Amino acid sequence: MQIPCLHISGIELPIEFRRLYDMAYNYWWTWTPRARQLFAAIDSRAWAIYRNPLQMLINLDRSAWSGLREDSTFVQLYEDVAREFERYLDPATETWFRRAHPGHGEGPFAYFAMEFGLHQSLALYSGGLGVLCGDHLKSASDLGVPLVGVGLLYRHGYFMQNIDADGRQQHIYPEYDFSRLSVRPAAGHTGREVLVTVPFPGREVAAKVWVAQVGRVPLLLLDTDVSQNDPADRPIASILYTPGREMRLAQELLLGVGGVRALRALGIEPSVWHLNEGHSVLLVLERLRELVQHGGVPLGEAFDRVRRRTVFTTHTPVPAGNEQFEPQVARKYLEPWSALLGMPADELLALGNADHGEPSQNFNLTAMSVRASSYVNGVSRINAEVAGGMWRHLFVDGNSGAPGVEAITNGVHPTTWLGTEMQRLFNGRLGAGWRAEVDSPAFSEKLAGLPDEELWRTHQAQKARLARFARARLRDQQARHGVSPEELRSLEDRFDVDALTIGFARRFATYKRAALLFSDLHRLRALVCHPERPVQVVLAGKAHSADRAGQELIQHLYQLSCSPELKGRVFFLEDYDMRVGRMLVCGVDVWLNTPRPPLEASGTSGMKAAMNGALNCSIADGWWPEAADGDNGWVIDAGTRSDDEGQQDRDDALALYRLLEEEIVPRYYERDADGLPRGWIARMKQAMATITPAFSSHRMVRDYCDRAYVPAAQRT
């Protein structure tokens, strides 16, 4: 689906390279190595700085084109990539969705989310949820699924993280110039920009509609920083996950109601509405208003119609973690809608009641989402069971048309997260068509046949790239703290490519227990400082700006990484984003995951690491129990479960140390006469073969199509 857009950038391109414009404005390049190679070939230095084709092309000196015209290698590369791009977008291309669902003749599936992680240059994500949404769009594009995404365009995005010399997290909110990002204003039928208005208490707020093209899939993004708005309303879509509760509800009203109106303004009539988390559930209000006010449909029937075409994905397995608002705040924003719908305000607010009959309940967006959806799913089998227990009363009472919480386990987009070197190995050994069969049994068989020497050499090359990246990051970080030139020079000797490397990177919420590995510093020091079998640990992650406990945890671990006992063996990389994440999952040997069960909804970083040959060492929570087979990684199992969190933490820490000391470290350092860890490589192959197909986002999106989207579209 291509949405007409306005042209706002100052790019000037020679006619023979005109397709660079379309490629720069399509995030297809983020998962296509040859496209990134092409942009890097234009100006390698600028590409290394920006990693954003639009910014690079805007700043490119015109004189550079004369040399590129005469460079036959570049011209050939450009022509090859342009042809690949055109083939990919060709509407006549036979896609999975066209083969699997030839009878689907209705509108696209609308996919609403608060955050989308497409690339680090477009800071519309905070962590795993946003990256999952980005991978969902990319796989929908690859599979030819008729999908349109809807989100918000944040002027300041999510914060950038600096760690000061004392280990305190500092929050930096840059101001983004949208004209230098790969987004464009949508063009209406008159050729002008598209503006929609959303009713707020006592006023209307305008939002400009932008488009980020993700392969075949458009992503609509709403921006309130427009001159038509009062200065107090312009920052509504300014910061992702703003800590202010009323501002957060304002964002969610904008996303839901404004998203529906943006689709209508562009003539798009979705057949199914997918709420990815409850942030966007207020779109139900606008859809009800359309049916009641314009269609003359009785409210009860209108609600049934809306529910039949709505599907909902819940992630949060903690009751307090579900988005909810105090009654007076919710009433302020929702009471005007009761008049529009002819529905008493108390009944409207009751759609968000999470409990039975309690007076003055908080307005819970997850509860409303369950009531308003005909299909509800969790993001792993365990998560679905937990969510089903949390919301069982809504299904039992018949308040929801859905039968219960089903499970569609998350997945990750392989060509986004596979390292460059690993993709090069696949191209050479598996053939050019491996991308089309990445989630098939045949692909697993081919992975099992990769030569040990080549796989290990490829893994070590990705590990060396991580080492270079980490040293550069640490040098910049330490230089800002004022350390001496000699100390900065010593960083070149840090990060041993031959040492067993453990990665731990995620949002620093306390339930993820980042400190579990550091609970016995004597045993940890014995591991990392072993003279013959050393271990090193790489940490990264942000804590929400309002999460004091998470920030204190970061400070504690950073200070430990600087302590004499652990310095040079434990590293904390600041400003965790998609690029840092990609480096880590491609380069570490072991991916560590230590959540307190059953609070991990799914987790996806371990899937990305496994696709690159890393072995998971994880608590049996989220996705990992569905993947672990005894030979593709390790389960941290204390053998007991205690209601005392402190005792359970101690038991799990002991189990983790035992695994590292008795199994993981010895297995890594077992080498044959050729210097290869054959037993370790066998586990790498098993991890890649069993995890890549089963936890690809292609499998995930097919599941959504077969089990949620198409059945919902067929409900009458």
Q: Determine the distance from the C-alpha atom of residue 345 to the mean position of all C-alpha atoms in its chain, rounded to a whole number.
A: 36
Residue 262 lies in a domain: yes
4 in a domain, yes or no? no
Same-domain check for residues 563 and 687: yes
Residue 2 lies in a domain: no
pLDDT of 357 higher than 80 = no
Asked if the structure places residue 707 within a domain, the reply is yes
- For residues 520 and 403, membership in a common domain is answered with no
pLDDT for the residue numbered 399? 54
Residue type, 346: D
> Tell me, what's the pLDDT at 441?
83
Q: Which residues pair with 378 in a beta bridge?
A: 407
263 part of a folded domain = yes
Q: What is the pLDDT of residue 474?
A: 95
On whether both 28 and 137 belong to a single domain, the answer is: no
When pLDDT is averaged across residues 407-412 and rounded to a whole number, the result is: 98
For 427-439, what is the mean pLDDT?
Answer: 88
Range of the domain at 223: 96-411+701-713
The answer to whether 257 and 92 are in contact (CB under 8 A) is no
Please name the residue that has the structure tokens 């992702």. 240
Angle at 408 between CA 369 and CA 320, to 5 degrees: 45
Which residue type does 683 have? Answer: R
Q: 536-570: per-residue pLDDT in tens?
A: 999 999 999 889 999 999 999 999 999 999 999 99
The CA distance from 98 to 103, in Å, is 8
Terminal Cα distance for the chain, rounded = 25
Average pLDDT over residues 436-441: 84
Contact yes or no for 108/217 (Cβ under 8 A): no
- Coil, strand, or helix at residue 312? strand
Report percent pLDDT > 90 for the chain. Answer: 88
Q: Do both 493 and 393 map to the same domain?
A: no
The 10 Å CB-count burial string (b at 16+, else e) for 304-335 is ebbbbbbbbbbbbbeeeebbbbeeebbbbbbe
Tokens representing residue 224 in the block: 């309130």
Let me know whether 454 and 320 are in one domain: no
**Dist. CA 340–CA 348, nearest whole Å:** 11
Q: pLDDT-derived band of residue 440, with 50, 70 and 90 as boundaries? A: confident
Indicate whether 8 belongs to any domain. Answer: no
Mean pLDDT of 350-372: 89
> Does residue 265 sit in the same domain as residue 288?
yes
Write down the H helix ranges in 71-205: 72-89, 96-100, 128-143
- Which of the listed residues 89, 116, 131 is the one where a domain comes to its end? 89
**pLDDT at position 677, please?**
97
Domain boundary among 62, 89, 116: 89
pLDDT at 402: 64
Asked whether the predicted pLDDT for residue 174 surpasses 70, the reply is yes
Domain end, chosen from 70, 89, 108, is at 89
The answer to whether 137 touches 416, Cβ cutoff 8 Å, is no
Helix or strand holding residue 211 (H, E): strand 203-214
The answer to whether residues 239 and 156 touch, using CB atoms and an 8 Å cutoff, is: yes
Q: How crowded is residue 175: how many other Cβ atoms within 10 Å of its Cβ? A: 9
pLDDT digits (tens, 9 = 90+) for 674-713: 999 999 999 999 999 999 999 999 999 999 999 999 999 9
202: left (phi > 0), else alpha (psi -120 to 50), else beta?
left
What mean pLDDT do residues 257-279 have? 97
Query: Mean pLDDT across the stretch 348-363?
Result: 86
Give the angle 373-379-381 at the CA atoms, nearest 5°: 110
Q: Which pLDDT does position 397 carry in this prediction?
A: 57
User: Could you give the angle at the alpha carbon of 631 between the alpha carbons of 528 and 696, nearest 5°?
Assistant: 100
pLDDT, residue 151, reads 98
- What value does the mean pLDDT take over residues 163-174? 95
Of how many residues is the chain composed? 716
Q: Tens digits of per-residue pLDDT, 112-139?
A: 999 999 999 999 999 899 999 999 999 9
- 711's tokens: 């059945």
When mean pLDDT is compared across 64-78, 296-310, 435-449, the lowest value belongs to: 435-449
Range in 44-58, 351-365, 589-603 the model is least confident about: 351-365
pLDDT reported for residue 83: 97
Q: What is the Cα–Cα distance from 89 to 216, expressed in whole angstroms?
A: 6
Return d(Cα 354, Cα 361) in angstroms, integer: 8
Residue 172: pLDDT above 60? yes
Per-residue pLDDT tens over the stretch 642-677: 888 999 999 999 999 999 999 999 999 999 999 999
Q: Same domain, yes or no, for 281 and 370? A: yes
Whole-angstrom Cα Rg for the chain: 25
Would 145 be classed as within a structural domain?
yes
Lowest-pLDDT choice from 344-358, 447-461, 468-482: 344-358
CA distance 181 to 9: 9
Q: How many CB atoms lie within 10 A of CB 710?
A: 19
Residues 597 and 452 in one domain: yes
Whether 69 has a pLDDT exceeding 80, the answer reads yes
Q: Is the pLDDT of residue 193 over 70?
A: yes
Q: Based on the fold, state whether residues 466 and 322 are members of the same structural domain.
A: no
518 and 444 in a common domain: yes
- Residues 158 and 542: their CA atoms lie apart, in Å, by 10
Q: Look-up: residue for tokens 């009472």?
A: 397
Give the mean pLDDT of 213-235: 97
Give me the number of domains the chain comprises: 3
Q: Classify each residue of 535-549 as buried b or exposed e, where b means 16 or more C-beta atoms within 10 Å of its C-beta.
A: bbbbbbbbbbbebee
Q: Residue 251 belongs to a domain with what CATH number? A: 3.40.50.2000
Task: Give the relative orientation of helices 452-480 and 678-694 as an angle to the nearest 10 degrees.
Answer: 80
pLDDT of residue 2: 87
* 77 within a domain of the structure (yes/no): yes
What sections of 342-396 are H helices per DSSP?
Answer: 345-350, 365-371, 381-396
Q: What is the mean pLDDT of residues 279-284?
A: 98
Closest CA to 467 of 488, 490, 496: 496
Least confident of 204-218, 426-440, 517-531: 426-440
Task: For residues 393 and 423, state if they share a domain.
Answer: no
Q: What is the three-class DSSP state of 157?
A: strand
What DSSP state is assigned to residue 293? I
Same domain, 500 and 620: yes
pLDDT band at 396 (very low <50, low <70, confident <90, very high): low
Look at residue 629 and tell me whether its pLDDT is greater than 90: yes
pLDDT of the residue at 400:
56
User: Which pLDDT value is given to residue 398?
Assistant: 53
For residue 401, what pLDDT is reported?
61
Predicted TM-score (pTM) of the model is 0.96
pLDDT given at position 21: 96
